[in-house]
Amino acid sequence: MKVYKAHIIYTPRREEFHVLENGYVAVGRDGRVVCVGSSLEALGCPDAEVLDFGNRLLIPAMNDVHVHAAQYHNQGIAMDLELLPWLQNYTFPEESKFSDSSYAELIYRRFVENMKRVGTMRAVVFATIHTEGTRRLMNIFREAGMGALVGKVAMNRNCPDSLQEGVADYVSGMEQLVAESTEPDALVRPIVTPRFIPSCTPEMLRACSEVARRYNLPVQSHLSENLSEIELVRQLEPESQGYGDAYRRYGLFGDTPTVMAHCVWSDEAERRLIRDGGVMVAHCPTSNFNVASGMAPIRTYLDEGISVGLGSDISGGHDLSIFRMMVYAIQVSKMHYQRSNHEQPFLSLSEAFWMATKSGGSFFGKVGSFEEGYDFDALVIDDANLFPADYNILQRLERFIYVGDDRNIVHRFCRGKEVCLAE
Amino acid sequence: MKVYKAHIIYTPRREEFHVLENGYVAVGRDGRVVCVGSSLEALGCPDAEVLDFGNRLLIPAMNDVHVHAAQYHNQGIAMDLELLPWLQNYTFPEESKFSDSSYAELIYRRFVENMKRVGTMRAVVFATIHTEGTRRLMNIFREAGMGALVGKVAMNRNCPDSLQEGVADYVSGMEQLVAESTEPDALVRPIVTPRFIPSCTPEMLRACSEVARRYNLPVQSHLSENLSEIELVRQLEPESQGYGDAYRRYGLFGDTPTVMAHCVWSDEAERRLIRDGGVMVAHCPTSNFNVASGMAPIRTYLDEGISVGLGSDISGGHDLSIFRMMVYAIQVSKMHYQRSNHEQPFLSLSEAFWMATKSGGSFFGKVGSFEEGYDFDALVIDDANLFPADYNILQRLERFIYVGDDRNIVHRFCRGKEVCLAE
């Protein structure tokens, strides 16, 4: 057992922070939290050896529930383009390059290193259609000791030939990746990833559903990101009641754990399907700004009992930091607050933090909190450059989130093991 | 004369970047740009000694046209509060502390150092009502070699007694600061700063106008930030046609160079007054999100010929970096683009860059460009950690703006002199 001491902050419930000033957390050999307390006696282990982080903050690590690893090279470029030319001139050509496994290896290493740097220990990731590239990405995550659900992407229509793969090849590629991921409770696993309805024929969508069910794999995709996309899906799937319903009819909407990115424009009926399917919404506020999609009404989702996590959505999003996503999520909700004449409350910091930790983390298991039995995924924050003596613990956390950056993250843990930067 | 070599980028016009790959800029002894060119021969000085910045980018420094130095201690806290409790519980108590000059000195030194760090070489600044604190701030800017218009704030109603000053004392304080700033073309000068209409009696507003005219000083204040504030001004100034018109009637709307922060909700009549008065709008997008004010329609302003700069508005805003304000300004404009069914184009990167450099800089004189006669205010950007070999020069700039941070800024110049970090 290991015991760490620091100012411990986490969100067992979204309404408020739980703070232990100079608190202790005991972590078992399996990397899970045994207990937290305000003294070693309270922990029931008065003689334990303690690693004391002093005046630093100890918080759950970040979870990114929607990000395209294969778009990492395009992070922060082509922001002046609209969605279609952006896809055609930048995104698709870039993803095509991942047929070259050494290129994939190069970019994916950069990506994972930066994810580590910004304090994200778990991610739900899009790779590309390429099985070998996807395998490389999974191995890089394994090597780093981080957690990831990695998606070999299913696409067989409405995109360049170089990014299409037949249904049989897709299934066979998935089966290889599944066969290589048999370790129980593994940190890195495959996830079924139809890109979105417009990229997949009905046969492909049915194959995805079948693979998910057969191997008990989670599912990720995109949903109701922008209005013209929704209209396109309506034309492609005239028998469905809407975009979410189309996924549902193919068995891809909660039959296994499912996360859908964006949901900017989900109407009441779709939101009901999301909630009833237990589907998680990946809220990607920077991407929704950059691609001019709109502002997702996250308060409404939470009120309706929908599960929400935060996603960086590189490279529609430009920033890999989930701390920055918290800030943006609050800002977006403040625009809904303003427009509703202050009737709909904006998101509090604890709610944003909870989405980034315990709520988003729930997609990976017991992740994102320091409650008993949770994986010890944690960050140690040194805010010495932010004048900590002038502020209380929660203000220090707020300042780190709003003003700090990766320089303040001095230790990273995933399931109890320290994750170190490459340099 | 000094000659610098690097990849030079600036925006003589807002529509496009001017790029000189491996270009040269010659700077006179007075700190002004003599010329730029793609070779020493083109510069007409083939034998000049050159300081070669190699593969780095050389861009104009940032200008922040709205920021509260005295709220720096509150940067990134109390973001969960609405405007009124935020003012009453955090902002006003904090500003009251600046009656203690040594406290003022402490916070202002931190503030100026951080402004320097993020690459802002010029700022239009609110201090507090306190003459000695304001003097300290001006001296800290002078010491740093940076440019600033520093406002001793005029307030004599609707705020705590400790933040009220009588009209005569205000005028006498301003006269002291003016008397200490007689150097022609000084980098640091006072600016007339009525906090906003609700904080100033008609007598105070008239005194402000009188001081501005007598000493030929610029003016800064707040305008049309949120709807309840506008309603309050309507009640306080029933004879004015609106908020902007109230300033105009007191002689504070373009009689001398004037910058007004926010202008989120300026209607057509007010926008006409802004344009006709040559008033600059300080667009503060993060603050407008954080304080739940709304999203200023900057494309409309530019189309109507209104001058716009960018402001961090610490501590309504949480980020001192004007590079981040560019990103936010583009994102805000993308929401207007979305809402207008793509009829109103969003801001391009060159337009955002131009607002941060040449347009915002125009409030300080010939600042913000590398055209002949402009003050050489410049930043050298080392983007080695952003894989520069993979991108062209403008993509490298875009990535620095979207993905980079102060670590990438390796040299800073203000009017030709290098400005160094304290550590």
Q: Does A348 touch chain B (CB under 8 A)?
A: yes
Contact A75 B402 (CB under 8 A): yes
Four-residue CA torsion sign, A249, A255, A256, A259:
positive
Name the token pair of B140.
């800290």
Separation CA A195–CA A260 (nearest Å): 11
Of A75, A330, A399, the CB nearest to B403: A75
pLDDT in tens, B148-177: 999 999 999 999 999 999 999 999 999 999
pLDDT in tens, A396-420: 999 999 999 999 999 999 999 999 9
Give B412's DSSP letter. Answer: E
Per-residue pLDDT at A174 exceeds 90: yes
Separation CA A251–CA A212 (nearest Å): 9
User: Which residues does A350 contact at the CB level (< 8 Å), separation at least 6?
Assistant: A11, A14, A15, A16, A17
Residue ranges of domains in chain B: 2-61+368-418, 62-364
Mutation target among A80, A84, A287, A395 for the B interface, most CBs of B within 10 A: A80
Identify whether the C-beta of residue B174 lies closer than 8 Å to the C-beta of residue B190. yes
pLDDT confidence of residue B117: 98
pLDDT confidence of residue A82: 76
Of B80, B292, B348, the CB nearest to A80: B348
Separation CA A58–CA A61 (nearest Å): 9
Reported ipTM: the value is 0.97
Give A75's DSSP letter. Answer: T
β partners of residue A9: A19
Contact A403 B319 (CB under 8 A): yes
pLDDT confidence of residue A250: 98
Q: Does A391 touch chain B (CB under 8 A)?
A: yes
Q: Position B314: which residue type? A: I
E-assigned strands of B246-401? 258-262, 280-283, 307-310, 378-381
Q: Does B168 touch chain A (CB under 8 A)?
A: no
Contact A403 B75 (CB under 8 A): yes
Four-residue CA torsion sign, A404, A405, A410, A412:
positive
Contact A331 B390 (CB under 8 A): no
Contact A76 B403 (CB under 8 A): yes
Which one is predicted more confidently, B24 or A83?
Answer: B24
Characterize the bridge pairing of strands A16-27 and A2-13: antiparallel
Of A82, A334, A399, the CB nearest to B77: A399
Give A384's DSSP letter. Answer: G
Taking all residues of chain A, what is their mean pLDDT, rounded to a whole number? 97
Assign domain A2-61+368-418 to its CATH architecture. Answer: Roll (2.30)
- CA nearest B226 in A: which residue? A338
Of B73, B349, B390, the CB nearest to A390: B73
Separation CA B163–CA B92 (nearest Å): 7
Q: Which residues of A touch B327 (CB under 8 A)?
A: 318
Q: Does B312 touch chain A (CB under 8 A)?
A: no
Identify whether the C-beta of residue A190 lies closer than 8 Å to the C-beta of residue A163. no
Average the pLDDT over A100-126 and give the result.
Answer: 98
Query: Which string of b and e fits B34-43 if b means at least 16 CB within 10 Å?
Result: bbbbeebeeb
Average the pLDDT over A354-369 and give the result.
Answer: 98
Q: B171: helix, coil or strand?
A: helix
Cis peptide before B96 (omega within 30 of 0): no
Of B76, B82, B401, the CB nearest to A398: B76
How far does the CA of residue B307 sit from the closest CA of chain A (Å)? Answer: 22
- For residue A414, the tally of other CB atoms under 10 A from its CB is 24
Confidence at A348, pLDDT banded by 50, 70, 90: very high
Q: Does A97 touch chain B (CB under 8 A)?
A: no
Identify whether the C-beta of residue B260 lies closer than 8 Å to the C-beta of residue B218. no
What angle do helix axes A167-179 and A131-144 make, rounded to 10 degrees? 20
A62-364: CATH homologous superfamily?
Answer: Metal-dependent hydrolases (3.20.20.140)
pLDDT confidence of residue A87: 87
- For residue A405, the tally of other CB atoms under 10 A from its CB is 16
A273: enclosing H helix or E strand: helix A268-276
Query: In angstroms, how far is CA A388 from the centroid of its own chain?
Result: 29
pLDDT in tens, A285-334: 999 999 999 999 999 999 999 999 999 999 999 999 999 999 999 999 99
Tell me which residue of A335, A82, A67, A80 sits closest to A228, measured CA to CA: A82
Confidence at A45, pLDDT banded by 50, 70, 90: confident
Interface subset of B 130-159, CB within 8 angstroms of A: none
β partners of residue B417: B414
Name the token pair of A363.
């997609």
Q: Is the pTM of this model over 0.95?
A: yes
B223: enclosing H helix or E strand: strand B219-223
Separation CA A378–CA A395 (nearest Å): 19
pLDDT confidence of residue A199: 96
Per-residue pLDDT at A84 exceeds 90: no
Mutation target among B14, B74, B79, B90 for the A interface, most CBs of A within 10 A: B79
Identify whether the C-beta of residue A33 lies closer than 8 Å to the C-beta of residue A367. no
With a cut of 70, list the residues of chain B below it in pLDDT: none
pLDDT confidence of residue B87: 87
Identify whether the C-beta of residue B291 lies closer than 8 Å to the C-beta of residue B86. yes
At A72, phi and psi to the nearest 5? -65, -35
Contact B337 A80 (CB under 8 A): no
Contact B402 A348 (CB under 8 A): no
Contact B318 A395 (CB under 8 A): no
Per-residue pLDDT at A14 exceeds 90: yes
- CA nearest B342 in A: which residue? A292
How far does the CA of residue A357 sit from the closest CA of chain B (Å)? Answer: 19
pLDDT confidence of residue A226: 92
Per-residue pLDDT at A180 exceeds 80: yes
Q: Does A32 touch chain B (CB under 8 A)?
A: no
How far does the CA of residue B66 sit from the closest CA of chain A (Å)? Answer: 18
At B46, phi and psi to the nearest 5? -60, -20
Q: Which residues of A touch B331 (CB under 8 A)?
A: 286, 289-290
How far does the CA of residue A388 sit from the closest CA of chain B (Å)? Answer: 11
